[in-house]
Amino acid sequence: MLWPTALTTALLASVAVSSPSLHLRQQQENVLANLSLADFVAQERTIALQGVLANIGGLNSSLVEGASPGVVVASPSTVNPNYFFTWTRDSALTYIMLIDELIFGNTSLKGTIEDYTSAQAFLQTVTNPSGSLYPAGDGLGEPKFYTNLTRFDGTWGRPQRDGPALRAIAFMNLAPVLFALNETDEFRRIYWPLVTNDLLYTSQYWNQACHDKLILSTRLIRTGYDLWEEVHGNSFFTVAAQHRALVQGALLAEEIGEECEFCQQADQILCLLSNNFWNETGGYITADINVNNVNRSGINADPLLAAITNFDYNATCDSVYQPCNSRILATHKVVVDAFRNLYPINKNATAPKAVLIGRYPEDTYFKGGAWPLCTFAAAELLYDAAAQLNEIGTLSIDEDSLAFFQDLYPDANVSDYTGNELRVITGAMTTYADGFISAVQQYILPNGSISEQINTTSGASYSASKLTWSFASFITASQRRARQYPPSWGAWTDLAHGNLTSSQCESSSYNATGQYLPATGAGAPNITNLTSLCYSEVIFSVNATTSFGTNVFLAGNVSQLGGALDDPEKIILPLNPGNYSSTNPVWYVDIWLEAGEGVEYQYILQQSNGTFRFEGGQLRNLTVGGCGSGNVTRVNDVFNTTMGTNANANASVSA
């Protein structure tokens, strides 16, 4: 029996994070925790959908008052942690799920999808610390904003390259719905400009390990942060999403008679994806490569989330890292096994007993709890893989996947399986998947709310409450358990498999041919004279040795740098520590300024207590280089720690 909407919303609004003792008492009375799995999934799916909608600005936003229509708030939590922001990645993943729900028959979601469209069209045009829409599109990589669609100027792991790719996927998934309604022209007018901006960004920034000798001379690698916003480098999840977006974009462009020349970068992304992430010794896909000073094993839920995001029911298992791919299944085993003995709550359970898992074994964020969304992903991947194998009709077990399958079917060998044996094995996979759902069910809050984390000893929910991503991940796992699959995006096509030899693979992305323009048909503001101004790229880097909790900002006399000096209230440009190391303590920021203009600027340290310390010496100055992307103005500075001196602190400028 499904809970009425009003009751569900009221219960969600009243939830609080449980203490361990309260949690144990609640579990004894928890109806949801004691239901059969089928009944639990049916009831929780309704609760989770209402939880998602309650966290989105608009008519249903009972938990996030003040959020703009269509804006996904990560969580109503405002303290410990404060998640009352909107993330491009989380929002896109949420709406990918909601668009699937629309496709599966929930037409009531049409309004909130339209609100999301308008909100994202506007958000693409918001200038932010990562940049702007025009001329270089770098602002699209900004990870989060305030819920009223204004910029967030605090320090953060930026840029994050997965958001634009995922947002493009969300809108492209909507295309078949509109095509079925004979609204192809509407899609072309409203959605394609939105998608084009994000695909252009994806093709231009998928791997900025720049060829520019000025950049390489200081080891500046401009890639991005991973989906956990902690590691600067190439994330498997991000690269997989980027590959899918460009393949799907190329196929869709052909279908609607549009051009997407830059979508051909999908082949180059496939080179990076296929040849760099497999850990041969460990037998798993490592989460991040090209990282700086990260002491981790690379065992991470990242590849599991990547595989379910790129799931295509029509794909073969040798398609690019689909759920039934041998290396994905091998990674599933390694990731799950890493948490069996790590979390006391798992009681050292051995396979094929499912357990709670987290993001990665070394996680210390809020003491490193189990993450429901990661545990649901482990289940969803198995539902997906079993569906693909049953559709294909053959399971080919190889050396990579053998250990995974021996957990479920002890007689498994390196061989092909069909018929009844295949059905036995895929049945065991489905049962295993159910176990991950049940693992979370044991510790679900009585009202069905799902927090960010579960305490690994007591089972109490904590960290951000009513996490939108947690709700959404439960729904997508429920969809796959019910054999509801999204439309194919083309993972089975020749385009998705690529045609480059290793000698043709390039090490980095390039400046794609295209122009970033507001998607006015979707609700973006019509910015006048956008293309009449001439801009030039400027890369500021400063050698500034800092300790944990200290950040570096940049202030200047031009609007992009705050427009005023010596005023902490107008310091709006945080620098990026992504390439910082003990031997190369460099902070940097890459922005576009008006060509030829004179700039006065100054660096500022934000102390761990929140106060600001302006560097000493004279103001620095530079003249921005010539017009166009080929002219890069490069400044290499050293933070002036001497206060009140008159030492010359002008930048070292090269172009």
Mean pLDDT in residue range 93-107 = 97
Summarised one tens digit per residue, pLDDT across range 255-282 is: 999 999 999 999 999 999 998 999 999 9
**For residue 143, pLDDT beyond 90:** yes
Mean pLDDT in residue range 201-211 = 77
Task: List residues with catalytic annotation.
Answer: 226, 229
Q: Give 198-212 as a DSSP string.
A: HHHHHHHHTTB----
Computed over every residue of the chain, the mean pLDDT equals: 88
**For residue 558, pLDDT beyond 90:** no
pLDDT of residue 388: 98
Contact present, 639 and 541 (Cβ < 8 Å): no
**For residue 27, pLDDT beyond 80:** no
Q: How many CA atoms lie within 13 A of 506 on its CB side?
A: 16
pLDDT of residue 23: 52
**For residue 472, pLDDT beyond 90:** yes
pLDDT of residue 431: 98
Write the CB contacts of 117 (distance below 8 Å, at least 6 apart in sequence).
Answer: 70, 171, 190, 191, 194, 522, 523
Highest mean pLDDT among 65-69, 358-362, 546-550: 358-362
CA distance 376 to 384: 12
**For residue 216, pLDDT beyond 90:** no
Highest mean pLDDT among 40-54, 219-233, 291-305: 40-54
Mean pLDDT in residue range 565-581 = 78
Mean pLDDT in residue range 320-330 = 96
Mean pLDDT in residue range 437-441 = 98
Write the CB contacts of 147 (distance below 8 Å, at least 6 apart in sequence).
Answer: 57, 64, 66, 67, 68, 71, 73, 84, 85, 86
pLDDT band of residue 528 (cuts 50, 70, 90) is low
**For residue 419, pLDDT beyond 80:** yes
User: For the chain, what percent of residues have pLDDT higher than 90?
Assistant: 66
Mean pLDDT in residue range 580-606 = 87
Highest mean pLDDT among 102-116, 197-211, 555-569, 611-625: 102-116
Amino acid at 236: F
- Per-residue DSSP letter, 187: I
489 is in an annotated binding site: no
Helix (H, G, I), strand (E, B) or coil at 535: strand
**For residue 628, pLDDT beyond 70:** no
pLDDT of residue 328: 98
pLDDT of residue 450: 97
pLDDT greater at residue 573 or residue 112? 112
Q: Is 495 left (phi over 0), alpha (psi -120 to 50) or beta?
A: alpha
**For residue 24, pLDDT beyond 60:** no
pLDDT band of residue 210 (cuts 50, 70, 90) is very low
pLDDT of residue 223: 81
Which of 21-25, 210-214, 219-223, 523-527 comes out lowest in average pLDDT?
Answer: 210-214
